[in-house]
Amino acid sequence: MRKLILAVVLLAIFALMPLAADLLGQNALQTLSARILIYAMAAASLNLILGYGGMVSFGHAAYFGVGAYVVGILYSHWMSEVPIFGLFPGSNQLLITLPAAMLLSGFAALVIGALSLRTGGIQFIMITLAFAQMIFFLFVSLTAYGGEDGIIIRRSNEVPGLNMRDKTTVYYVILVVAVLYFAWMWRVVNSSFGQVLKGIRQNERRMEAMGIATFRYKLYAFVLAGMGAGLAGALMANFLRFTSPDMMHWTKSGELIIMVILGGLGTFFGPILGAAAFLILEFYLADWTEHWQLGLGIILLFVVLFTKGGILGMIDRLRGGRQ
């Protein structure tokens, strides 16, 4: 029940944000809010493997970047009217580019996951980082698609019946996709699949003894997480009308982990609150001083060393509840 109220409150805040931004005369608020929605999705997808499954993937920004690049590359081929490899035509239709982005980032996650999940512990952290770096350098080398400078997408993808040149329309499209994504995520984490995943985090050997093929479950989760990040990246490309290798730099993977931890590891609303906290902090600190990362670093250090369970855990404790 309490979770339902929190969900309704969050939805109301995000739905009313464009109006509020208009009333206050601060358009930046709408941009900030859209970024929060998109990063919340990416962080939630990471939370699925990191928080629920206990897999510390340090290369999650790679799938985010692949999703963004799918939108960018499809758009540039649509513009030039040259098919990709002479086979697939480009596209500027959101209903085509989003599934394509999920498909390709999911495929990347499938290959990387199948190889990485053979290792564990520190080696797993490093090998996911290594694969992400390889993808990063791959896109840097693609001079046909802008290399280091990335691709400028002149216009956001079209949706039949909507005027996607209007920023507020784009915002609401992002909101709808995000709501659908979180509704799906709610079902996943509360399904038997979600329970198995939590079981693996707690004790993988026991799950194996119960006759569960843990590798396969972990790989499914890894692929689903990659697809979620790809979806978020595709939305980001549409929102910024730009993609670049910067989106998949390893520090971005670090930032996604920070968001998950800030909000509360392995909790449903954690990634949303974490992304909001991180981006709002960045927004105001950056406004105040160019050395905002100093403040961010100190806060982050404090959160890791002295709090347990991120923002959600802190709220619980402030209310006097002990876990």
**74 phi, psi to nearest 5 deg:** -60, -40
Min dist CB 256 to other proteins, Å, is 11
Give 241 or 249: the residue with its C-beta nearer to other proteins. 249
User: CA-CA distance, 6 to 264, in Å (whole number)?
Assistant: 15
266 in the Ramachandran plot: left (φ > 0), alpha (ψ -120 to 50) or beta?
A: left
Token readout for 106 is: 């999911």
Min dist CB 292 to other proteins, Å, is 8
Give 123 or 163: the residue with its C-beta nearer to other proteins. 123
Contact yes or no for 66/110 (Cβ under 8 A): no
The helix/strand/coil state of 213 is: coil
Binding site for other proteins (CB under 8 A): 50, 56, 58, 115, 118-123, 125-127, 129-131, 133-134, 137-138, 140-141, 143, 147, 250-251, 254, 257-258, 261, 265, 291, 293-294, 296-298, 300-301, 304-305
Min dist CB 44 to other proteins, Å, is 17
Count of Cβ atoms closer than 10 Å to residue 317 Cβ: 14
Give 16 or 134: the residue with its C-beta nearer to other proteins. 134
Token readout for 269 is: 């609303």
User: CA-CA distance, 2 to 269, in Å (whole number)?
Assistant: 12
Min dist CB 140 to other proteins, Å, is 5
Give 219 or 300: the residue with its C-beta nearer to other proteins. 300
Min dist CB 194 to other proteins, Å, is 20
Radius of gyration of the chain (CA): 20
In the DSSP assignment, the letter for residue 56 is -
Give 83 or 297: the residue with its C-beta nearer to other proteins. 297
For 87, half-sphere exposure in the C-beta direction (CA atoms, 13 angstrom radius) is: 1
Min dist CB 50 to other proteins, Å, is 7
Give 140 or 212: the residue with its C-beta nearer to other proteins. 140
